[in-house]
Chain A
């Protein structure tokens, strides 16, 4: 159980394109989902916390107009990288926590999306 599906797994596109990444909890409901960015050989950096039915909470230094997050249902959050540029190339990972668990329970991670902007 507790599967998180992230799609697409790989995107290559031209500079200026907007890219949407989906994160779905397949067998549980997630009030909260998280979006991370990971640079090569580095740890995960939390970008934002996505809350169902409300605005996302962005970490300091993350441009909310650049990285649009929508959490329209208890099983789906999307991250849209708007007008992507080469410096946005990275590995983006989402995670979700089961709605029915307390806050100290683990998050379940998607398999990540490798975004490459040419």
Chain B
């Protein structure tokens, strides 16, 4: 069965420093992978998606992620954190039929000045 593991429940960085949010997936097929961000009491906003095209995916707000099949990873990065990046981040994979999303448990990103 497919699954997704976010390796860190909480990441803290200083403003202006790089961000790394880690995600590993398990799948018996070629998955579609997404990163979503959720600000408090809000819905989810799509940051970026991987759907079997280029392995390095660029998203909104300076975020990018690299799909590494050999490592079954899809880590999210940003060169320089901004205070407004503080939020909850979810790594998500589709099921094989593409009919449902499977969420990781989320990583809370804190950014200090």
- A→B interface (CB under 8 Å): 4, 6, 32, 34, 42-44, 46, 49, 91, 93, 95, 102-112, 114
Residue of A nearest to B52 (CB): A104
- B→A interface (CB under 8 Å): 32, 34, 36, 41-46, 49, 51, 90, 94, 97-101, 103-106
Q: How far is the CB of B111 from chain A (nearest CB, A)?
A: 18
Known: A105-B51, A106-B46. A44 touches B41 (CB 8 A): no
Inside 8 A of B32's CB, which chain A residues have their CB?
104-105
Q: Interface majority SS on A: helix, strand, loop or mixed?
A: strand
Which one of A103, A105, A112 lies within 8 Å of B43 (CB-CB)?
A112
Q: How far is the CB of B81 from chain A (nearest CB, A)?
A: 21
Residue of B nearest to A93 (CB): B43
Known: A104-B98, A106-B49. A112 touches B103 (CB 8 A): no
Q: How far is the CA of A2 from the CA of B44 in the complex (A)?
A: 13
Q: Is the CB of B42 within 8 A of A43?
A: no
What 6 A-B pairs are tightest by C-beta distance, nearest first? A103-B98, A104-B32, A109-B43, A109-B44, A111-B43, A43-B103
